[in-house]
Structure 1
Amino acid sequence: MNNIRAIRTAADLEWAIGEITPYFDNPPDQGTADADRFDVLADLIEAYENRHFTSDDLAPIDFLGGFMEMTGRNQSDLADVLGSRSRASEILNRKRALTVDMIFKLNEAWGVPAEYLVKPYTLAVA
């Protein structure tokens, strides 16, 4: 687990996210040193975020947007998970509400905590 360090600043967080991001596209095999490194980095990132970011007050779409930004994902990536580019746009622009199926897909594909996506939120007026 070379060069893993505590996350104390936004720069440290950015470094850790940069270190963990390649594992999302190429997951390490369980029981390997890379899998251990991934787990430690994920735990460090989660601990830092829990100390510095309160997601309880965020609307689900704001939380999703922050999660996407933090993990280097964009609207096209969201479209891949949801199955439609227009659907991703509607969700991010608050023209359509997240469904239980969408929340499940986001949780399964990206590990987005479902409890932050199931809260009611206001849609944009058409």
Structure 2
Amino acid sequence: MDIRPIHTEADYAVTLKEISTLMDSDPDLGTPEGDRLDILATLVQAYEAKHVPIIAPDPVEAIKFRMEQSNLSVKDLEPIIGRRNRVYEVLNRKRPLTLPMIRRLHKSLGISADVLITESLG
């Protein structure tokens, strides 16, 4: 089992391709192929943790995503954000989120407060 650390983007790309091939074959745990997949996935995780920054999502996009996930309408956000026009202003980036809105969105929809306090990209 010739496995080496991932040092470069080229190593990373080759490893991802091999992982994809192994996943397509759906190896069983405890088999040589399953062990290889597990080790390669661990190496990729370590490489990504060091070299691939995670960018926090935009707060408005996070709200829209949660609305879509939970099949929520603008009316459903009124108790959380305020009157309908205020909800539209927030969703259209015309009005920033206030601290009370952030607290209610976090509590009601489970959106991370860290995400909600970042500046909107729009």
TM-score (norm 1): 0.49
The residue identity in structure 2 corresponding to 1:90 is E
Determine which structure has the larger helix proportion and give its number: 2
Counterpart residue number, 1:94: 93
Structure 1 residue ranges (4+ consecutive) displaced by more than 4 angstroms after TM superposition: none
The Cα of 1:65 is off from its aligned counterpart by 0.5
Shift of 1:79: 1.3
Per-residue Cα deviation, 1:46-104 (whole angstroms, up to 9, x for no partner): xxxxxxxxx83421101110111011111111112223111101000110011111000
Q: Is the 8 A contact 2:66 2:109 kept in 1?
A: no
Q: How far 1:122 sits from its partner (Å)?
A: 4.2
Structure 2 unpaired stretches of 5+: 1-53
Alignment partner, residue 115 of structure 2: 116
Cα–Cα, structure 1 residues 112 and 57, in superposed 2: closer, same or farther, change >3 Å? closer
Name the structure 1 match of 2:64.
Answer: 65
State the one-letter code of the partner of 1:78: L
Larger radius of gyration: 2
Instruction: Flag the 1:89–1:74 CA change in 2: closer, same or farther, 3 A.
Output: same
